[in-house]
Amino acid sequence: MIEKQHIIDRFKSYVTIDTESDPNSDTTPSTEKQWDLANKLAEELKEIGMEDVSIDENAYIMATLPSNVPHDVPVIGFVSHFDTSPDFTGANVKPQIIENYDGKDIVLNKEQDIVLSPDYFEDLLLYKGQTLITTDGTTLLGADDKAGITEIVSAMEYLINHPEIKHGKIRVGFTPDEEIGRGAHKFDVEKFGAEWAYTMDGSQVGELEYENFNAAGAVVTIKGKIVHPGYAKGKMVNSMYIATDFINSLPRLETPEHTEGREGFFHLHNIKGSVDETQLQYIIRDHDRGHFEARKEMIQKLADDLNEQFETEAVSVEIKDQYFNMREKVEPVMHIVNIAEEAMLQANIKPLIKPIRGGTDGSQLSFMGLPCPNIFAGGHNFHGRYEYVPVESMIKAVEVIVNIAKITAEDLTKFKTEAK
């Protein structure tokens, strides 16, 4: 399989390029700096021998590995995103290589006393003896999803260099702006031309997912009235107090820090306030479509109740759906999950099939006509200073991609028969 240092060097070359996306931008990509990696990837795909390499006006990249079998087999695809989350800075990433991890604390930044500890992040102990790539404690790493890109490019390179491995036509696609919920918005499914695809955007080695949250964003705006505080009696309306009532009226235990599995939540991720106006930004998540709709209704009803209580129209709500649970689109073609599961078993990986507590480009692509389960990319603790990825997990992901390519060129009758 791919040489270890080659994987490390490729991954480092990607994460040291800042590609943070911006939810407040209306352009695609949302930040100009995403072009730096997009253009690099397009050139690299050409260099390794991919065909039909294209990059469009919105920085969506596509390329083809032609079939090397004489018979017709399904065209499949692999997709990853190259932007990083705006939750934490992605500028000046300085990856650190931890060889033969000993299971103890990793000092990310001695000066700032930032430590990656298995006492808090127990998953670290899964990777004793392996090579970890971490941050220096001052940025995120970008394994979400530059690990996925590393794996796809490396797998295509491996297949090109090993023509004895039989496979059908494979399409690869790299997208901007996934972290702000817009990664698939301008993805040309018809141009991509695959029967199905896989996003390489999961976490722990073995993850295989075909369920994700239904997702929406809500902006709650509260208007107040500002007057001189010395003469405010009966006149001032402090929007921040009304905002506090709104926040405290939502179920306190239905937040990210209190939920797991298929449990949904309300997440207040930004507040900007003054006496005159306060804005609350929420994300709403639930795997169950009925519960998801009920959560949106609760947000609106709470605004209506506060307006009635204060005899005003001070509170307004704007809710926008972002993506839906791809399960309803994948289940009718469940053989595509079975193929990925078999590819993992052939790589001596135990498949961990579970719902995603988030979303991927694949959730939107599935509703656009491209069924798209999600496969592990190997990273942990995404979107923050404690992010890390085991190199061995990335190598295993490359192996899974190659195995999927091989399996799809074989007789798929078994997988379709066993579809659940």
* 72 annotated to bind ligand: no
Q: What percent of the chain has pLDDT over 90?
A: 92
Helix (H, G, I), strand (E, B) or coil at 184: coil
Query: DSSP code of 137?
Result: S
Residue 122 amino acid letter: E
H or E stretch including 196?
Answer: strand 196-202
pLDDT of residue 420: 44
* 144 annotated to bind ligand: yes
> What residue spans of 225-281 are helical by DSSP H?
239-249
Query: DSSP code of 257?
Result: G
pLDDT of residue 360: 76
Q: Which of 83, 207, 211, 399 is catalytic?
A: 83
Q: Mean pLDDT score of the chain, rounded to an integer?
A: 95
Per-10-residue mean pLDDT, the chain, length 420: 92 98 97 98 98 98 97 96 96 97 97 97 97 98 97 98 97 96 93 98 95 94 94 93 96 96 96 97 96 98 92 91 91 96 97 87 92 96 97 98 96 67
Helix (H, G, I), strand (E, B) or coil at 114: strand
Told to judge if 32 belongs to the known catalytic residues of this protein, a careful annotator would answer: no
Q: Determine the Cα–Cα distance for residues 181 and 82; give it in Å rounded to an integer.
A: 13
At 304, phi and psi to the nearest 5?
A: -65, -40
Helices and strands of the chain, counted as H and E runs:
11, 17
> What residue spans of 99-258 are helical by DSSP H?
143-161, 189-192, 239-249
Residues of the chain with CATH 3.30.70.360: 214-323
CB 250, CB 284: distance < 8 Å: no
CATH superfamily entry for domain 4-212+325-417:
Zn peptidases (3.40.630.10)
Q: Which residues does residue 132 pair with via DSSP β-bridges, in sequence order? A: 98, 390
Query: Which pair of tokens denotes residue 26?
Result: 């209306």
pLDDT of residue 24: 94
At 366, phi and psi to the nearest 5?
A: -60, -40
Q: What is the 3-state secondary structure (H, E, C) of 364-420?
A: HHHHCCCCCCEEECCCECCCCCCCEEEHHHHHHHHHHHHHHHHHHCCCCHHHHHCCC
Q: Determine the Cα–Cα distance for residues 418 and 400; give it in Å rounded to an integer.
A: 20
Residues 6+ apart with CB under 8 A from 226: 236, 274, 275, 276
DSSP state letters, 24-64: T--SSSSSTTHHHHHHHHHHHHHHHT-EEEEE-TT--EEEE
Q: Which of 178, 207, 286, 399 is catalytic?
A: 178
**What is the CATH class of 214-323?**
alpha beta
* 207 annotated to bind ligand: no
pLDDT of residue 418: 52
Cα separation values, 262 from 266, 303, 381, Å: 14, 27, 19
* 383 annotated to bind ligand: yes
CB 113, CB 231: distance < 8 Å: no
The whole-model pTM stands at 0.86
Residues of the chain with CATH 3.40.630.10: 4-212+325-417
Told to judge if 83 belongs to the known catalytic residues of this protein, a careful annotator would answer: yes
pLDDT of residue 411: 78
pLDDT of residue 419: 44
* 361 annotated to bind ligand: no
pLDDT tens column, 319-343: 999 889 999 899 999 999 999 999 9
Q: Determine the Cα–Cα distance for residues 308 and 300; give it in Å rounded to an integer.
A: 13
pLDDT of residue 311: 77
User: How many CB atoms lie under 10 A from the CB of residue 19?
Assistant: 26
224 CB-side CA count, 13 A: 20
CB 14, CB 82: distance < 8 Å: yes
C-alpha Rg value of the chain to the nearest Å: 23
